[in-house]
Amino acid sequence: MFNLFKKKKLDWVHLPAPDDSILFFEAIKQKSEYYWAETTPNPSIYGCQQQGNSQWKPGLTDNELKDFEMAIGYEFPLPLKNFYKTMNGLTKPGINVFGSDGTKPTFKSLYYSYPDDLPVIEELINWIYEENKVNASMVKQGIVPAIFPVYQHRFMLTNSVDNPILSMHGADIIYWSDSLSKLLANEIFDANFNIHDFESNPINQPEIKFWLDEKQYDEN
């Protein structure tokens, strides 16, 4: 059984402004690796958590990024480019300990990398499209905003203003974060940082075509 479940005292993590720049992602990369070196999964939680001592893989080169975009079928928005230029998934997958109920732990990627997780990325995108009766033509025509999974089932709207993040699990879709920067800070650091700079306000969320339009489910 895993004996790694401990949590050391952490220093306050202060992050720069969440502007989706390479500078911000470099700060996230450095501080998250320090954070994971000092923490381990909570044994009472069901669901995937990041393993201790995880590190980010090196970012993609310009040529690798272009190959990634070609595989997905479109040019990435700047926030996603900056993210993948800085880091490209993690050295350790997430772990689900099932609340230490005796179930054998399972493992899966939490932050998707290229090319290792390309089949998973494509499968997730296709799953959301199928569950919501979306086809490639609708996305290409701009009827439905394109989506890209960046962390578990958190998807970026890649051709929408400011590229907000939605939580998408089949047809269960809600607004989640104003930006990729805010998503990473909140998912990684468990509120151990200057949290008020990273709050997202659904009340002031941008208008999001189709995905948050209740009429999409009206068969009439």
Residue ranges of domains in the chain: 22-217
Tokens of residue 220, six digits: 């009439």
Structure tokens at 65: 């990024």
Count the alpha carbons within 13 Å of 219 in the hemisphere toward its beta carbon.
0
Instruction: Specify the pLDDT at position 219.
Output: 39
Q: How many CB atoms neighbour CB 85 within 10 A?
A: 18
pTM (two decimals): 0.87
CB 154 within 8 A of CB 188: no
Helix then strand then coil, % of the chain, to nearest 5: 35, 20, 45
Three-point CA angle 156, 59, 92, nearest 5°: 80
Q: What's the average pLDDT block by block, 10 residues per block, for the chain (220 residues)?
A: 44 80 96 88 90 96 98 97 98 92 93 97 97 95 95 96 94 94 88 60 76 57
Find tokens 């905003």 and name the residue.
Answer: 145
Distance CA(163)–CA(185), nearest Å, equals 16
What pLDDT score was predicted for residue 196? 56
Query: What pLDDT was estimated at residue 5?
Result: 42
**Rounded CA separation 33/70 (Å):** 30
The CATH code of the domain at 22-217 is: 3.40.1580
DSSP character string of 156-183: EETTSTT--EEEEETTEEEEEESSHHHH
